[in-house]
C-alpha cells in the first residue's frame, strides 16, 4: 500500500507558479555561474528536446525562445516542506526521498489497494489548487514498483499496479528502469544477454551472485518486482555521514593561491553548515576536477574534531600541497566525514572554548545579516562566488539532530 509522488518538472513548475509570465512558456531553471547547466526544463521546453544537464548553449540551440531562470533553492525547499505537511494529513508514514519525491505508506488507511485511487486524485487536486503544480503518482504494493508506476505517466499521471499485475509489468521492463541500475550495471547485464527484467528474473541467482556479489541477490528480487524496504520517516532517518560543498570555477585555475582561496571559501561554508547541525568531523576530503573532466578525491583524517571553517581549510590545503597537479582545474570540493554530534559539550581546553565563543559570535552576525557578512579578508574579493553555491536541498526541519553521544 505504497504511494510514490513525483513532482513534475519541480523547479520549473515552482518558478511558473510564482511568476505567471512564465506559465505555458518553455523555461529552463539554471545555476548562476558561467558554466551552468539546465537543472530542470519545463514541459514546454522539453517539447523542443531540452533536457536536464544540457548547457545553456545547447538549450538555446534547441529552443531559441527558451526563458532561462536562475534557480532559487529556498523556494523549492519551502515548497517541499509544505508538500510534506500536506502528505501528513493523509498518513504519518512519509519518506522524503528527495526534494521532489516522497513515498507514502498508506497501510491502515484503506483495506483494498484500489481504494487508494480516489485518495491519490484528492492529493493531486490539493497540490494543483494550493501550489499550481502537477505530479505523477504511482500506487503499488511496495516502494520499488510504486516508483516504477509514477514514472509511467508524465506529466500529471496516476498509475496503480496491483500485485497480480506485477509479473506482466516487469516482463518487458528494461533493466535500467529499476532504481539502482545505472549505466554501468546496464552494460554488464547487456553483455550477459540481459536487457529486460523478465530476462533478469530468469537468470540463475548463482550466476548473478558470482558476477555481482551481494548485489546479485538483490538484482533477482528487483527483477521480480519484490521489495520489502520500509518507508523511512524523518525521525527514523539516520544522521548524515558527510557534509560538503564543491564549486565549478568560472575559468580554469592553475594558480595555487587562487585554489587556496577557493578552498577557504568552501571550507567556511562546510563549517557553517556543520555547526548549524551540531556536527564535528575528523576526516577532510579534497576533490579536484581537471579541465579534461577527470577527477580524484584525497582524504585525510586527524585526531581533532573539526567544526571551524579555517581548521577545515588548513587540512584541505595540506592535502592540496601534497598533491602534484597534472593540469589546471575546473572544480574544487571540500567535504568532512567521520561526523559526530555534540562532541563540543565535552570539557575543553581554554583556548578551544575561546575559539568556540568567537565562532558563535560570527555565526550570530551572519545568521542575522546573511552569509559572509563578516568573513576573512581573503574572501572579500570572492564574495560574488558565495551565492553560486546551492544550499542543501533538504527541506527545513527534516534533518534529525541527535543530542548526547
Partner DNA sequence: TCTGGGGTCCTAGGACCC
**Which residues are at the interface with DNA (CB under 7 A)?**
31, 33-37, 39, 52-53, 55-57, 60, 97-101, 147, 178-186, 213-215, 238, 240-248, 273, 282-283, 292-293, 296-301, 330-331, 333, 335, 337-338, 388-390, 392-393
Given a contact cutoff of 8 angstroms between Cβ atoms, the answer to whether 338 and 244 are in contact is no
Q: Which residues are 3's β-sheet partners?
A: 104, 139
Q: Which three cell numbers stand for residue 146?
A: 510504486
Catalytic residue among 85, 101, 318, 381: 101
Q: What angle do CA 22, 25, 31 make, to 5 degrees?
A: 65
**Between 110 and 154, CB nearer to DNA:** 154
Matching residue, cell 548485489: 215
Q: Cβ distance 96 to 235 under 8 Å? A: no
Residues in a beta bridge with 341: 279
> Of the two residues 123 and 181, which places its CB atom closer to DNA in the complex?
181
Q: How far apart are CA 321 and CA 356, in angstroms?
A: 27
Query: Rounded to an integer, what distance in angstroms lies between the CA atom of residue 178 and that of residue 201?
Result: 13
Q: Which helix (H) or strand (E) holds 288?
A: strand 279-290
Terminal alpha carbon distance of the chain: 37
250 three-state secondary structure: strand
d(CA 347, CA 344): 8
- Which residue matches cell numbers 539516520? 238
The Cα–Cα gap between 10 and 73 comes to 11
Among 305, 235, 238, 236, CA closest to 275:
305
Alpha-carbon distance of 77 to 120, in angstroms, equals 22
**Is residue 350 annotated as part of the catalytic site, yes or no?**
no
Whether residue 73 contacts residue 390, with contact meaning beta carbons closer than 8 Å, is answered with: yes
CA distance 101 to 147: 9
Give me the sign of the Cα torsion angle 358, 360, 363, 368: negative
| Long-range pairs of 183-190 with CB within 8 A, sequence gap ≥ 24 | 188/212
Compute the residue count for the chain. Answer: 405
Catalytic amino acids? 101
Amino acid at each position: 500500500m505504497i504511494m510514490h509522488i513525483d513532482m513534475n518538472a519541480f523547479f520549473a513548475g515552482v518558478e511558473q507558479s510564482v511568476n505567471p509570465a512564465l506559465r505555458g512558456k518553455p523555461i529552463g531553471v539554471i545555476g548562476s555561474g558561467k558554466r551552468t547547466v539546465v537543472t530542470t526544463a519545463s514541459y514546454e521546453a522539453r517539447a523542443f528536446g531540452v533536457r536536464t544537464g544540457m548547457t545553456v548553449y545547447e538549450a538555446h540551440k534547441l529552443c531559441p525562445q527558451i526563458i532561462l531562470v536562475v534557480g532559487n533553492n529556498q523556494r523549492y525547499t519551502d515548497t517541499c516542506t509544505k508538500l510534506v505537511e500536506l502528505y501528513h494529513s493523509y498518513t504519518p508514514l512519509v519518506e522524503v526521498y528527495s526534494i521532489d519525491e516522497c513515498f507514502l505508506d498508506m497501510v491502515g488507511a484503506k483495506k483494498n489497494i484500489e481504494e487508494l485511487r480516489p485518495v491519490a486524485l484528492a492529493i493531486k487536486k490539493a497540490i494543483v489548487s494550493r501550489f499550481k503544480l502537477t505530479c505523477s503518482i504511482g500506487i503499488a504494493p511496495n516502494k520499488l514498483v510504486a516508483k516504477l508506476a509514477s514514472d509511467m505517466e508524465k506529466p500529471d499521471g496516476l498509475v496503480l499496479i496491483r500485485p497480480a499485475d506485477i509479473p506482466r509489468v516487469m516482463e518487458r521492463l528494461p533493466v535500467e528502469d529499476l532504481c539502482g541500475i545505472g549505466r554501468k550495471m546496464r552494460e554488464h547485464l547487456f553483455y550477459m544477454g540481459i536487457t529486460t527484467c523478465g530476462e533478469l528474473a530468469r537468470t540463475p541467482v548463482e550466476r548473478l551472485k558470482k558476477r555481482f556479489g551481494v548485489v546479485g541477490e538483490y538484482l533477482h528480487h528487483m527483477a521480480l518486482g519484490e521489495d520489502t524496504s520500509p518507508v523511512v520517516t524523518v525521525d527514523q532517518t539516520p544522521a548524515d555521514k558527510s557534509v560538503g560543498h564543491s564549486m565549478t570555477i568560472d575559468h580554469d585555475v592553475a594558480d595555487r593561491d587562487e585554489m587556496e582561496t577557493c578552498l577557504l571559501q568552501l571550507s567556511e561554508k562546510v563549517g557553517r553548515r556543520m555547526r548549524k547541525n551540531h556536527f564535528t568531523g575528523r576526516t577532510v576530503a579534497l576533490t579536484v576536477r581537471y579541465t579534461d573532466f577527470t577527477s580524484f578525491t584525497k582524504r585525510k583524517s586527524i585526531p581533532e574534531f573539526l567544526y571551524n571553517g579555517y581548521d577545515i581549510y588548513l587540512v584541505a590545503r595540506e592535502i592540496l600541497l601534497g598533491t602534484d597537479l597534472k593540469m589546471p582545474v575546473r572544480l574544487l570540493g571540500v567535504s568532512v566525514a567521520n561526523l559526530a554530534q555534540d562532541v563540543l559539550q565535552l570539557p575543553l581546553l581554554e583556548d578551544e572554548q575561546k575559539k568556540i565563543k568567537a565562532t558563535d559570535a560570527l555565526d550570530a552576525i551572519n545568521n542575522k545579516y546573511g552569509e559572509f557578512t563578516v568573513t576573512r579578508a581573503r574572501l572579500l574579493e570572492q564574495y560574488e562566488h558565495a551565492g553560486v553555491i546551492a544550499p542543501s536541498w533538504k527541506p527545513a526541519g527534516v534533518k534529525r539532530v541527535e543530542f548526547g553521544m
